[in-house]
Amino acid sequence: MSPTHECPEADTAAETAKAQKKRRGGPSSESARESSKRNALKHGLMAEKIFPDDLKKAIDAYTAELIRLRCPRDDNELWLVGQVAKCRAKLDKIDVLSLVDQQRVIDRVPLMWDRDRMIHVQDLGARLATDPRRVREKLAATKQGAQWIRQTWDWLGDVAENLGEWTEDQRDCAFELLGMPERFRVGSRRVPAATDTAGLKALVAAQMSALTEEIDGPLGALDDAAKALAGSGVSFEEDAETRRLRRYAAIISRALASAERAFEKAREARPEEAAAAAAAEPAPEARPYASAAAGDFLAERYDRNILSAPHMVDTILKSGDEAEAEVEVEGQVEVEVEGQVEVEVEVESEAVSEVEEVPAEILEFLREDRRRRDEGFAPASAPVGDRPFADASMSVPAPAPTGNRRHRKAAAKRQRLAEKRKGQ
């Protein structure tokens, strides 16, 4: 009788059913699996694919804006743009978290100041045996460090009081508290012999007295000042959370700089494509011309600032491109009309000794402007040349009289003079 062979499909189905039957725990649906990926997600600063919702929105916004501005031409540039957007969004979040962390530090100052400083001191004291001289100086520079050293001396004093001697390890600890390196300990009398009970007690008493004086004196004052600064947001020592944020910021900043450099190199590697893309871009739109009102304002401002008096316009128009005029300060100025001196016009306090060279287009504008002022109106269809400041038509009807107060005053004087001449 030949052996029977089962169908391979049946074997596979049986194994799958068996595996599903034995399976326990864990997400079973696709949505549950996607949700479980976020179990270990905290702030997302070191994440590459899965981010918190707020960070994901910021990354998408940066990506869309950078794609619009930089116009990536291939997948490599598109990926680099995504990296730049990711780094910028992360740095923005670090700025927010830094403010939150600063507030956390400020809130801990009145409650946990001594305990937080003591944790830092204990981490530093754990390295005392490795580098006793340097670590001892750092510990003795703070109030909590000096308290840590005094507590250790107190423990050594208890041992000398109860047993009357120290072990070699305890004697080495005393050398470390004094900051003496190991190479100088042999033959040193800074620490008495391990069996010298009186000498050991005297050493402990002297060290504890000196440390107590430092703690109650300058170290206490410095600690109060440091606490006040920390309460205002200025801290000279960082805890683990603050150091972690700074490390994240440094890593992300380096990644951002690297992505920016890679993007620039990718663009420089293909100058012909860059030139073609620049040629394909639409030319920038020309700036709109100023309106007639804006042209009038600019021309009047030029007339007011450069040609600072109404009679100066007359002088320039009569002399051509160059003219010189002298105005007497706070006095009387003679105005020449038709070759004769008829009236005296009062001019406000000012002195002009010479007139700068005026361009031809300014002269043309002044002549046309004078004509308009004399006539009091301008036809709506009157053709006028280009203005020096704006390509706006001068054909806009202007009320009579126009100009500033000086212009109106000078125009009134000229009108009275003309009427007087006609009457004569």
- What does the pLDDT read at residue 43? 77
Between CA 279 and CA 277 the distance in angstroms is 5
Residue 256: the pLDDT is: 94
Instruction: Give the per-residue pLDDT at 313.
Output: 55
Dihedrals phi, psi of 345, to nearest 5 degrees: -105, 130
pTM of whole model > 0.75?
no
Q: How many CA atoms lie within 13 A of 272 on its CB side?
A: 0
Query: pLDDT averaged over consecutive 10-residue blocks of the chain (424 residues)?
Result: 49 59 61 63 81 90 92 90 94 92 91 91 92 94 94 94 92 94 91 92 94 94 92 84 91 94 86 66 63 66 53 57 41 41 41 50 72 58 43 42 66 81 72
